[in-house]
């Protein structure tokens, strides 16, 4: 079923199908999540469909997936015809009644662009205002008026641990979650997650990051002022 935002519009449809092994219902429900992959080799992460989903949503479209085990997969992508869209209409904007309430402002630091985009979309849909940065150096200059930090540990240049330490010189009680898929690197470099800082190991489900941020933000707001 198409969303109400596309009902009544003249639509352009792009259909892509294959004759592969197909997907069961559980897999179909997860394919647009950042990190989700059906490839079991360690280190593989699925980012492509998450980015496609974000781009389609950003341009006012909708994706419908049809697939069954052994019967391939079909992706139907719907967009409103440009000529049929009212002048000045923001295709990416949600109606105010659908927009989630603003939870908090998060500084998201991730040097993989596709992953940063996917997580930004997911966090925004969960009510977070996201300040996305690709490096610790950039994040340090933009770490103002934020409520929580979410950063990869292994970054080019300044890593996430050093970044958080420098931010906390200005805001000692700022909550943070660090994440990494390179625990061997942390051990080799003798880098330790600071006490009291939450940690997620990659790959993780986007819901896990949202849940951890919710927990940190709620705890910080409930803490007595000092």
Is residue 92 in a domain?
no
User: pLDDT for 24-81, tens place per residue?
Assistant: 888 888 777 766 666 655 445 555 676 677 677 767 788 889 999 998 999 888 888 7
What is the model's pLDDT at position 92? 43
Q: Are residues 108 and 218 in the same domain?
A: yes
- Is 89 within a domain? no
Same domain for 142 and 62, yes or no, is: no
**Tens of pLDDT, residues 108-128:** 999 988 788 888 888 998 999
Question: Phi-psi category of 142—alpha, beta or left, where left has phi over 0 and alpha has psi -120 to 50?
Answer: alpha
Q: Are residues 108 and 79 in the same domain?
A: no
Q: Is residue 175 part of a domain?
A: yes
Task: Flag whether pLDDT at 83 surpasses 60.
Answer: no
Could you give the C-alpha distances from 193 to 25, 40, 140, 186, 212, in angstroms and in order? 37, 28, 19, 9, 16
Q: Give the pLDDT confidence score for residue 197 in this predicted structure.
A: 92
Residues counted in the chain: 226
Mean pLDDT over the full length of the chain: 81
- Domain identity same for 73 and 112: no
State how many domains the chain has.
Answer: 2
User: Which residue is it, tokens 């996430």?
Assistant: 160
Does pLDDT of 137 surpass 50?
A: yes
Give the residue from 48, 83, 118 where a domain finishes: 83
Question: Domain check: are 65 and 134 in the same one?
Answer: no
> Domain ends where: 51, 83, 115?
83
- Asked if residue 129 and residue 190 are part of one domain, the reply reads yes
**Of 113 and 129, more confident:** 129
- pLDDT digits 0-9 by tens, 160-201: 999 999 999 999 999 999 998 877 766 666 778 888 899 998
pLDDT of residue 10: 79
Residue 15 DSSP class: E
**Is 155 within a domain?**
yes
Burial class for 210, CB neighbours closer than 10 Å (0-12, 13-18, 19+): buried
Assigned domain for 192 exists: yes
Residue 50 CA to residue 33 CA, distance in Å, equals 6
225's enclosing H/E stretch is: none
- Check whether residue 30 and residue 66 sit in a common domain: yes
Beta-sheet pairing, 104-109 with 128-133: parallel
- Domain span at residue 213 reads 104-222
- Dump pLDDT digits (tens) for 142-167: 999 999 999 999 898 999 999 999 99
pLDDT, residue 166, reads: 96
136 compared with 54, residue with greater pLDDT? 136
**Four-CA torsion 213, 208, 128, 161, nearest 10 degrees:** 50
Query: Residue 97 above 90 pLDDT?
Result: no
Integer angstrom CA distances of residue 195 from 29, 94, 164, 177, 192 = 36, 39, 12, 11, 9
CA neighbours closer than 13 Å in the CB half-sphere of residue 10: 6
Tell whether 91 is covered by a domain: no
């Amino acid at each position: 079923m198409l969303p109400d935002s596309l009902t009544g519009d003249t639509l352009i449809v792009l259909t892509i199908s294959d004759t592969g092994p197909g997907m069961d219902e559980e897999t179909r429900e997860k394919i647009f999540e950042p990190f989700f992959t059906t490839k079991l080799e360690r280190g593989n992460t699925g980012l492509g469909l998450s980015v496609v989903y974000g781009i389609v949503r950003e341009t006012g479209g909708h994706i419908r997936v049809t697939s069954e085990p052994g019967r391939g997969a079909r992706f139907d992508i719907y967009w409103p015809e440009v000529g049929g869209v009212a002048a000045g209409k923001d295709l990416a904007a949600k109606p105010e009644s659908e927009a989630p309430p603003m939870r908090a402002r998060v500084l998201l630091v991730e040097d993989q662009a596709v992953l940063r985009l996917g997580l930004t979309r997911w966090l925004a849909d969960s009510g977070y205002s996201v300040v996305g940065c690709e490096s610790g150096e950039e994040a340090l200059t933009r770490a103002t008026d934020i409520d929580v930090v979410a950063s990869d540990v292994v970054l080019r240049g300044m890593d996430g641990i050093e970044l958080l330490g420098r931010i906390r010189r200005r805001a000692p009680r700022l909550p943070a979650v660090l994440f990494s898929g390179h625990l061997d690197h942390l051990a080799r470099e003798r880098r330790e997650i600071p006490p009291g800082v939450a940690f997620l190991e990659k790959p993780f489900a986007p819901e896990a990051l949202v849940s951890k941020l919710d927990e940190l933000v709620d705890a910080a707001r409930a803490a007595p002022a000092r």
